[in-house]
Amino acid sequence: MPKFEEELDLALELEEPKMFKVFLHNDDYTSMDFVVEVLMGIFHKTHAQAEQIMLQIHEKNKAVCGVYTFEIAQTKVEQVKQLAKQNEFPLLATIEDA
């Protein structure tokens, strides 16, 4: 069987995926220690980074925990929601365009 070589002249334009910020919000009930645990466990921050972000949340009412593609950001928000519920805290995580 003969081999056919076909050259396709397609210009593939790959775009960077749209990125989204994940925020944690301050409330009067969630402990600072729990927020630090969430930042280390879900967002993979070091203890020092987690404490710094936790203080930003406390002082400014919210802070960015990470920037991800939509699917990953959505997953992080859901993980926070589930962990907070298991520990009976009202901790809120939201997504915004980066």
Number of structural domains (the chain) is 1
Residue 14 pLDDT level (bands cut at 50, 70, 90): confident
User: Does some domain include residue 17?
Assistant: no
Predicted structure pTM score: 0.85
CATH number of the domain enclosing 80: 3.30.1390.10
> For residues 92 and 27, is the Cβ–Cβ distance under 8 A?
yes
Whether 11 shows a pLDDT value over 90: the answer reads no
Residue 12 pLDDT level (bands cut at 50, 70, 90): confident
pLDDT tens digit string along 33-56? Answer: 999 999 999 999 999 999 999 999
User: Does some domain include residue 18?
Assistant: no
User: Does some domain include residue 5?
Assistant: no
- 3-19 core/surface letters (b: 16 or more CB in 10 A; e: else): eeeeeeeeeeeeeeeee
User: Does some domain include residue 74?
Assistant: yes
pLDDT at 31: 98
User: Does some domain include residue 11?
Assistant: no
Q: Which domain holds residue 75?
A: 28-91
User: Does some domain include residue 76?
Assistant: yes
